[in-house]
Amino acid sequence: MTEKTYDIIIIGGGPIGLACAIAAQQKGLDYLILEKGSLVNSIFHYPLYMTFFSTAERLEIGAIPFNCIAPKPGRQEALEYYRNIHRYFNFNIQLFEKADRITKTGSLFQVTTAKSEYTTRKVIIATGFYDIPLLMEIPGENLPKVAHYYKESHEYAFRKILIVGANNSSVDAALECWRKGAEVIMVIRKNEINNRVKYWAKPDIENRIAEGSITAYFESNVTEIRDTEVDIATPNGPITVANDVVLALTGYRPDLDFLTQSGITLSADGKCVPEYNPETMETNVPGLYLAGVVCGGLETQKWYIENSRVHADMIIDHITAI
C-alpha cells in the first residue's frame, strides 16, 4: 500500500485528463494519472483511418501547437501529437492501471486499483465514454460475428456486412467497407442519416444509398442475429437478409456504475447526467471533480475535446483557491 498522499489523482489519460495534469503541474500540485490502457486509449481504439471533425488547433492542449498538413487531422496524427505532449510535460502517469474504486474517509480519498491503493486530497474523473457499447439486447448479439467497434475495412471485403446505426462511425464504416468490395446493408432507427455526421461524409452516404450501392432500411431495427442471417423489423414488415458480419455501432456510454459507486448522484430523467457544479466541475461529493465527456452522462454528444478542454483550468483554479 502506498503511504504517499497526492494532491490530485486524475482518472483517465485521454486528452482531457492530460489537460488536467498540465494545469495541475503548472500550479505545482503533486498529481498522478491512472489510465487503464495506453496513452489516449480511446483515440488508439478509433478506426485506423478516422478523420476528426475538429481542426487541429481545437484538439490542442497545454498551448502546444498541433501541426497538421491536412485541414482535419487523422487518428495517427492525433496519437503522435499526444505522445509528444507526454514527452514535453513528462506526466506522472501509470498506464494500464485501472481505477476500480474510489472511497472517501474524512477529507481524503482512496483510489484502489488491482496493483495498489493511492491516497489523495482530490480526485478528477476524466474517463470518457468509449468503453461500454450500448447494446441492442436482442437474440444473437453475443455471436462472434457481431462487433461493437470498427477498426478497418479489409477484413470485411467481399462479405455481406450489416451495419446498425447512422452516426459518424456507422457512416465511415459503411463507405469504407463498400469501397473495399463489401455488400453493405445499413439498419437505421430514424428516418434519415444523423445530422451530426461529418459534412463531407453525409452527402456521400446519402448518394450511395440513393443510387442503390448501399442498402438502407430506415425506421427499422434488427430483431435477431443468427450465424448466416439477420431479421429486421421494417415499416413494411419483417424481413430476413443473408449476412456474414454485423457491426453494431449503436453508440457507447460512460461507466455509470463507477460514478454511482463513487457517491456521485445521477439524474433520474433517463439521461443519467452526473451532478456537478458547472462553474467548478465539482460533484456532489466534495473534492471529487468531473472533466470531459463523462459530464454528459448518456448525452455523449454534448461534450468533446474542443469544448471540454476548459474544464482543466476550471477545476485546478477551484482546487488552488480553496
Amino acid at 241: V
Edge to edge, what strands does the sheet with 183-187 contain? 146-147, 245-248, 160-164, 183-187, 215-217
Strands 146-147 and 160-164: unpaired
Cα 8 from Cα 276, distance rounded (Å): 18
Cα 164 from Cα 245, distance rounded (Å): 11
107: exposed, middle or buried (Cβ count in 10 Å: 0-12, 13-18, 19+): exposed
- Each of the 322 residues of the chain gets a pLDDT tens digit; together they read 447 999 999 999 999 999 999 999 999 999 999 999 999 999 999 999 998 988 999 999 999 999 998 889 999 999 999 999 999 999 999 999 999 999 999 999 999 999 999 999 999 999 988 888 999 999 999 999 999 999 999 999 999 999 999 999 999 999 999 999 999 999 999 999 999 898 899 999 999 999 999 999 999 999 999 999 999 999 999 999 999 999 999 989 999 999 999 999 999 999 999 999 999 999 999 999 999 999 999 988 888 898 999 999 999 999 999 7
Cα 222 from Cα 188, distance rounded (Å): 9
pLDDT of residue 97: 98
pTM of the model: 0.91
Q: Could you give the domains of the chain?
A: 5-132+252-321 (3.50.50.60), 135-248 (3.50.50.60)
- DSSP label at residue 72: S
- DSSP label at residue 213: S
- Nine cell digits for residue 76: 495517427
pLDDT of residue 1: 46
> Are 194 and 167 contacting, i.e. CB atoms less than 8 angstroms apart?
yes
Phi, psi of 184 (to 5 degrees): -110, 130
Alpha helices in 90-225 (DSSP H): 168-179, 202-210
